[in-house]
Structure 1
Amino acid sequence: MAEELLPPLSPLSQSFNTPIMPFTIIVVLEFEKPFNKSQIIEILRDLLIPISPRFSCIIFTDNDGVKRWKKVDLTIEDHIIIPTFPSGSSSLQDCNDKHFFEYLSQISMDQLPQNQPPWEVHAIMYPTSNATMSLVFRLNHALGDGYSLMSTLFSSFKRVDDPLLPITFPVASSSSPSSYGRMNSLSKVSSFISRCVNTVSDSIMTLLQGMFLEDDKTVIRSVTPRLEFVPRTILSVTFDLDEIRQVKNIVGGTVNDVIIGLISFTIRLYMQKLESVSGNKRVSALVMMNMRMLKGYQNVEDLSKANEWGNQFGLLIISLPLFSDSKNVSPLEFIIQAKKEMRKKMNLASIHFSAILMNILKNIMGSKAVAGLMYSTGKNTSLGISNIIGPMQKVALADNPLNGFYFTVGGVPQSLNFTVMSYMGKLRVITISQKGFIDSELLISCMKEAYGNILEETHKKRAAESS
């Protein structure tokens, strides 16, 4: 009987299946009620695994040297891990929070087995401050990007208020109407030429950053070799999405602009407390952009229509403003600068160029070359940022309501990484930072301070506008 082979891995997915980039995606689901092991097996067998055949596949190299997915017999029990925390901690939620994040940090560095489908589910049977029990999915990034994996989970969720109604998602802000249509012919040609020149320039800078152009060494960027194997600290902080929308309305931006501006301000405060910061230091962030270019999901059906599994994203490098004298800079200026930077980058084709370049490198030099370029791009930048939009309503999996869920990424060659996810009107920010180098508690404190200052300035602006 012929082997059942699925299509080859994309260039990005192949690069994630090399020793150079052992990236893993970690998704945490926080439940109101506990599951036992048999219930977890049932959920995986009936709800999640049938959605994509990749969950029953290993990565196989065929006779032509092409890596593709190969169907195998799946034993679900082999993929379920139930850890044991230190004795006596089951009633101490604060203590369990500490053990929980330490456990996440530990598994973020572990390698997944090569002889079985590359995913695991860790059942944390201890109550934490936000859950009675938690399920932690750890998956090889080759399975798909955050969009693919989260859409798999979303399709298994049901609304708590009415399971028959569709789950809905926040609608991303539409871009402002372009003035391009109002230009005369000469202006259109000039604008087109300018965009082409800027695209080429930006693409060259991105390529140089991936080869040898590095950010400056700072208190958020160490030069420790093979950072992806260095112990991490994982922490979480939550903000109100309505408040963030108030900020975005004041600056005329998007929620994404506010997130990047908040992170920029946080980095500035953190660096200010630990070192003398000059405005000419090079500090940049690597932002993962979804190449499906969706402006936002209306519901799960819309999200699933594309049926685009795998890794389909581009690399966007943005400079973070430091402002040498930040005491005289409005907190909102960090968001305004983030907005300007994102507008400039999104008007270029450099994101698409990065995807095209990876395909060219894969065809000429193989997947290791793609992995090498992506690895060095991450290593040469100061931090990473990725975000996913989540449901607006409270949802349940197998009739068990979720208090929250979020994701992070393991195996990144950076000292600091931010992942952001919305759910039920809240925005959850997860920091994963180099243990012993980044003061994670101070970093979270700086983020709360930055957020408070931004809100205060927003309220002043609103009051001035209404008076």
Structure 2
Amino acid sequence: MEEKTMEIKIQVDISDTTASKQVEKDIPLSPAARVFNAPKLNCYVIAVLGVKKKIEPYAVMEGFKQSLIRHPRFSSKLVNSGNKNRQKQRWVRTNVVIDDHVIVPEIQTHNIENADAFLESYLSDLTTVSLDTSKPLWELHLLDLKTSDAENVAVLKFHHSLGDGMSLMSLVFACMRKTSNPDELPTLPYQNRPSSGLPAGSTCGYRFLWLVMITWSAIMLVLNTVSDGLEFIATILFLKDTETPIKGNYQLSKCKRMCLVHRTVSLDDIKLIKNTMKMTVNDVVLGVSQACLSQYLERRYGGKKKKVGEEEVESKRNLNNLPKRIRLRSTLLVNLRPTTGIQDLANMMAKGSKCKWGNWIGYIVFPLSIALRDDPLEHLRKAKWIVDRKKNSFGAALTFIFGNFIMKLFGVEVTANIVNRALSNTTMSFSNLIGPLEEISFYGHPITYIAPSVYGHSHALTMHFQSYMNKMTISLTVDPTVISDPHCLCDDWEESLRTIKTAVQERGSAL
């Protein structure tokens, strides 16, 4: 792949910006950021943005000059100091040369037979290259490449030490504006939380019932938290998932090339299922993912039999090739930081105001029910039951507290080893983020889709879901030596969504 970088140099002296006046001294890395910088857990976040028009690099660079690089983390480099045993890492402010971060490869499109495959290859190449620690740990790649779902593509690459996925994507949204009104920030939906207080005018009977419910909820909260805490410790020590065709071996996959693919489906279909089943979008996405993985694994386990001939494939189509009692768990990332609105982040970049930032994340070990079911809606019910159970627990907060405690006691390397061991004993990672409700633009370039993901941790499969307008984009990051056909996994997800939607509609018509 022949590439030549466009020579556009813009140096930004952050000493003249308001944001730089806010932070005059060096800032030590947070415990989570230090773990993400450990050699055994060197994680990156990649966000692929499809746009509707040819990208104008200078417009994007000027936009970054007025926004992203005013953020302290994006105008600071990581500096190591101290001895090897007790290394100190700090963020040190520096001048930013935008040309060092914005890469505009010269792509010979007439030599490209499949633009989508070229993009996947380009993204895969990015996963093999580490960011230069002598400058701020981020890059932007602007590709003049027309794919099946975008006129051009922008790729943002961040080191995970800069922040957790939610804070990084919120910052990206804060750099964007509504297409209909370039002066307005994107609108993000919020969740209405029901009040837990006693209803007005409650009778004594209601008061007694309310007291019983609160007491029982508190008891279950304690029990669930203890149970989740013990499961997390057991996962670190000995509790391993079943060795399935999608479970990788992190000890054999260091520095390997990862493969990133995405697929966009209708968010309206997901909301139809959500409303009919009285669930959340997250419940539906997890339920469909369970159905998808069950279908994919059934085919992988039955692969040898299906190579004999087409007639045998047809005769065995309805047979269940899945082993019994598969333990397949996902780690769900949970944001523990108080919610920061994109308006606060926009103010931080424009005015230098203070805003909560950093890696404040905990983990939930989520068991996925892998089985072929006669009633596809059972996948939804199973997912919702487990989600509701996990919500009634402080397990995620315990993992955050436990990580900080181990860090203070034993240091970065031991903590990274423990996190790696916990992840390697599970099968996959899963996350779901809410995106803007209306069309937004990236410095004058209307967005068609947003596909973020993460790599560098010890999983062969990461599933990330990002909503945007009436779309849901599924991003898969896979180890191709374990999952060589990620597009088939996307096909299975779409097929599972259609099957569950049909079952929901049939149920609705029967009522």
The TM-score, its normalising length taken from structure 1, stands at 0.90
The aligned residue for residue 317 of structure 1 is 365
The aligned residue for residue 70 of structure 1 is 92
1:455 matched to 2:481? The reply is: no
1:308 matched to 2:330? The reply is: no
SS at match of 2:251: coil
Q: Distance in 2 between matches of 1:163 and 1:136?
A: 22
The aligned residue for residue 412 of structure 1 is 457
Contact 2:250–2:458 (CA<8 Å) still a contact in 1?
no
Give the aligned residue type for 1:266.
C
Moved more, 257-266 or 74-83: 74-83
Q: Map residues 45-194 of structure 1 onto 2, 5 A cutoff.
A: 45-50=65-70, 52-62=71-81, 65-85=87-107, 88-89=110-111, 95-172=114-191, 174=193, 183=209, 188-194=214-220
Contact 2:262–2:451 (CA<8 Å) still a contact in 1?
no
The aligned residue for residue 259 of structure 2 is 233
SS at match of 2:475: strand
Contact 1:56–1:71 (CA<8 Å) still a contact in 2?
yes
SS at match of 2:26: strand
For the structure 1 residues 337 and 400, does the alpha-carbon distance in structure 2 shift closer, same or farther, using more than 3 Å as the test? same
Measured against aligned partners, the alpha-carbon deviations of 1:242-282 in whole angstroms (never above 9, x if no partner) come to 22111112222110111111111100001111213134111
Q: Map residues 222-261 of structure 1 onto 2, 5 A cutoff.
A: 222-223=248-249, 225-261=251-287
Q: Distance in 1 between matches of 2:464 and 2:165?
A: 10
2:233 to 207, 210, 218: 207
Measured against aligned partners, the alpha-carbon deviations of 1:399-429 in whole angstroms (never above 9, x if no partner) come to 2211222211121211111111011110000
Give the aligned residue type for 1:55.
F
1:31 to 51, 72, 90: 51
Contact 1:4–1:70 (CA<8 Å) still a contact in 2?
no
Count of residues paired in the alignment: 453
Contact 2:140–2:155 (CA<8 Å) still a contact in 1?
yes
Contact 1:172–1:254 (CA<8 Å) still a contact in 2?
no
Stretches of structure 2 that go unaligned for 5 or more consecutive residues are: 1-22, 199-205, 302-320, 348-353
Give the aligned residue type for 2:368.
L
The aligned residue for residue 18 of structure 2 is none
Q: Distance in 2 between matches of 1:300 and 1:138?
A: 20
SS at match of 1:135: strand
Contact 1:286–1:315 (CA<8 Å) still a contact in 2?
yes
SS at match of 1:215: coil
Contact 1:151–1:304 (CA<8 Å) still a contact in 2?
no
2:35 to 10, 15, 40: 15
Deviation at 1:225, TM superposition (A): 2.5
Moved more, 4-13 or 199-208: 4-13
1:344 to 389, 392, 404: 389
Moved more, 309-318 or 180-189: 180-189
Give the aligned residue type for 2:77.
I
The aligned residue for residue 297 of structure 2 is 271
Q: Distance in 2 between matches of 1:185 and 1:389?
A: 35
Contact 1:242–1:425 (CA<8 Å) still a contact in 2?
yes
Give the aligned residue type for 2:510.
A
SS at match of 1:167: coil
Moved more, 107-116 or 174-183: 174-183
1:289 matched to 2:289? The reply is: no
Deviation at 1:120, TM superposition (A): 1.1
Q: Distance in 2 between matches of 1:303 and 1:316?
A: 27
Q: Distance in 2 between matches of 1:49 and 1:377?
A: 35
Q: Distance in 2 between matches of 1:150 and 1:413?
A: 22
Deviation at 1:321, TM superposition (A): 0.6
For the structure 1 residues 43 and 187, does the alpha-carbon distance in structure 2 shift closer, same or farther, using more than 3 Å as the test? closer
* Larger radius of gyration between Structure 1 and Structure 2: 2
Q: Distance in 2 between matches of 1:59 and 1:172?
A: 36
The aligned residue for residue 407 of structure 2 is 362
Q: Distance in 2 between matches of 1:166 and 1:444?
A: 32
Q: Distance in 2 between matches of 1:65 and 1:307?
A: 28
Give the aligned residue type for 1:418.
M
Give the aligned residue type for 1:342.
V
Q: Distance in 1 between matches of 2:457 and 2:194?
A: 31
Deviation at 1:130, TM superposition (A): 2.2
The aligned residue for residue 432 of structure 1 is 477
Q: Distance in 1 between matches of 2:445 and 2:297?
A: 42
The TM-score, its normalising length taken from structure 2, stands at 0.82
Q: Distance in 2 between matches of 1:308 and 1:246?
A: 35
Q: Distance in 2 between matches of 1:30 and 1:148?
A: 21
Deviation at 1:395, TM superposition (A): 0.8
For the structure 1 residues 291 and 107, does the alpha-carbon distance in structure 2 shift closer, same or farther, using more than 3 Å as the test? same
Give the aligned residue type for 2:280.
T
Identity %: 27
Give the aligned residue type for 2:78.
I
For the structure 1 residues 411 and 339, does the alpha-carbon distance in structure 2 shift closer, same or farther, using more than 3 Å as the test? same
Moved more, 15-24 or 178-187: 178-187
Moved more, 421-430 or 374-383: 374-383
Q: Distance in 2 between matches of 1:229 and 1:61?
A: 22
Contact 1:109–1:410 (CA<8 Å) still a contact in 2?
no
Contact 2:171–2:342 (CA<8 Å) still a contact in 1?
no
Contact 1:148–1:308 (CA<8 Å) still a contact in 2?
no
Deviation at 1:391, TM superposition (A): 0.5
